[in-house]
Structure 1
Amino acid sequence: MRVVISVRDQKLMLLENGAKVATYPVSTSKFGLGDFLGRMTTPLGYLMVAQKIGDNAPVGAVFHNRRFTGEILAPNSPGRDPVITRIIWLRGLEAQNALAFHRCIYIHGTPEEKTIGQPASYGCIRMKSSDIAALYNQVQLGAIVQIVPDRLPKVPKASPARTNNTLTVQVEKSKIQEQPASTPDSGSLTLEQMRMAGALAAERQKSQARKAPPAPNKDGAIVQNSPRT
C-alpha cells in the first residue's frame, strides 16, 4: 500500500499496485508548506509510516502525548481540537522533510470534522475519525506516504477482490443394504395342520347332519333317511 496526499485537492488517496483503493478528504496546515521548526507547516515529499498508535482505542479516543487519556469526543465537539482516534506518525525520507518525525507530523483524527477539506491543521494531516480508522487498518509500518502540492494523479481504480462463493459439497455414496428375507409368521399354519383342520371340520359337519331332524315331504310326512350301504 502507498499513500498520496494532495495539498491542492485536500485529499488523500490510498494506492495498491498503482491502482486507487480509496480516497478520503483531509486537512493540511493552515500555515502553509515546509519543514521548519516552530513554523507549524506541512512538509512535502516522500515520507514513511514510522509508528502506528491506537490499535484498540475507541473511535473518538483523545490522545495526549500519544497516550489515550480515557476521554472520548464526538465529531465537532465544541471548543475542543485534540488528536483523536488513531495516530500514524511519519518520518521524512528526504532533506526537505528530514524534521518531520521530530516535529511530530502525524496523520490523525480530529473532532473538527467540519473543517476537513480545507487547510486547517497545525502541520499534521487531519482526517475524519471513521476515515483514519479505515486507513489505519490498511497501511503497514514502512508504507510510503507522498505529500504533493498539486492534484492527485489520475490512476485506475483497483479491481474488487474476487471472492469464492462456491461451496463444495462432498456427497458420500451410501451402501444399499439388502433387506433380510422375511421369515414365515410363527402363527401361520403348516400344511399338515391345515389338513387336520379340514378333516375335523368335515367330521363336525357329518356329526351335525346326523343329529338334525328328518325333513318333512310335501304332504307333511316325515321321511326317514335310509342309511347308505
Structure 2
Amino acid sequence: MYSIDQADVVIDLVSQTLSLPKHHKFYLISSGENGIGEQENSGKTPRGWHKIEQKIGGEMPLNAVFKARQWTGEVFDTALGESNPQRDWILSRILWLKGLEPDFNLGDGCDTFNRYIYIHGTPDSEPMGIPKSHGCIRMHSHQIQEIYDLLHEGDLVYVSEYKIEA
C-alpha cells in the first residue's frame, strides 16, 4: 500500500511513541488501555495506514475542552480536573484519523473514522508511555499543539503494533 518512508506520522504502539520523521520530532504518547485492534466499540487502538481527515481546534486556547469535537467553553485546569475525575479529557487540538485499508480499518465494524479515533491533547498530569486511553492517541497539550501546526489534512499516519527501529 504505502512505504514507511511516506509516513508523515509514525506511531509505535510497542514503545508508545509518535514521531514526525520529516521534522525530526519524537514524543511519548498513550494509546488504548484495552490494547490494539480495529473492532468497533472495543476501546482498542487501530493499526495500519491512516490519514488525517480533519484538524479541529486550531483557533482554540491551549487546554480548550472538547466534547463531540465541539469546544465546551471550558479551559482545563487542576480544579476542573479534580471536580470531574472520571472524565476522558480531549484537550487543545484534535487530529481525526481515517483508515485507508478496506475491511481492516475502513468499513463496517472496523472504521477508524466512524470510531472517532483521534490524536488529541490530554492533561499534563496524565502519564505518557503507557496505554491508558479509550482507543485514541493521547499527547500532552503543548505537544499536540506543536504537531497540529506542523501537520495537514491528508497527511499519512502509520500505526504499528511492532517496534519500529529508527
TM-score range (shorter-chain normalised) is 0.7 to 0.9
Q: Give the 3 Å change call, closer, same or farther, for CA 2–113 of structure 1 in structure 2.
A: farther
- Aligned-residue RMSD, C-alpha: 1.6
Task: Give the equivalent residue in structure 2 for 1:108.
Answer: 120
2:164 pairs, out of 152, 158, 181, with 152
Contact 1:48 1:92 in 2 (8 A): yes
Gaps in structure 1 of 5+ consecutive residues: 155-229
Q: What is the TM-score when the length of structure 1 is the normalising length? A: 0.63
Letter in 1 for 2:151: V
What does the per-residue CA deviation read over 1:55-92, in whole Å, with 9 as the maximum and x for residues that have no partner?
A: 11001100011111110113793314321100000000
Q: Which has the larger radius of gyration?
A: 1
Q: Report whether the alignment pairs 1:9 with 2:15.
A: yes
Gaps in structure 2 of 5+ consecutive residues: 1-6
Residues in 2 aligned to 1:121 and 1:25: alpha-carbon distance in whole angstroms:
13
Residues in 2 aligned to 1:103 and 1:67: alpha-carbon distance in whole angstroms:
17
Compare relative contact order (CA 8 Å, sep 6+) and give the higher one, 1 or 2.
2
Letter in 1 for 2:96: W
Task: Give the equivalent residue in structure 2 for 1:47.
Answer: 50
Q: Report whether the alignment pairs 1:58 with 2:61.
A: yes
Matched-pair identity in %: 38
Contact 1:13 1:152 in 2 (8 A): no
Residues in 1 aligned to 2:78 and 2:98: alpha-carbon distance in whole angstroms:
28
| Structure 2 residue matching 1:82: 3-state secondary structure | coil
Residues in 2 aligned to 1:114 and 1:83: alpha-carbon distance in whole angstroms:
12
| Structure 2 residue matching 1:115: 3-state secondary structure | coil
Task: Give the equivalent residue in structure 1 for 2:96.
Answer: 89
Task: Give the equivalent residue in structure 1 for 2:35.
Answer: 32
Residues in 2 aligned to 1:75 and 1:131: alpha-carbon distance in whole angstroms:
19
Contact 2:11 2:158 in 1 (8 A): yes
Contact 2:12 2:164 in 1 (8 A): yes
Where is the strand percentage greater, Structure 1 or Structure 2? 2
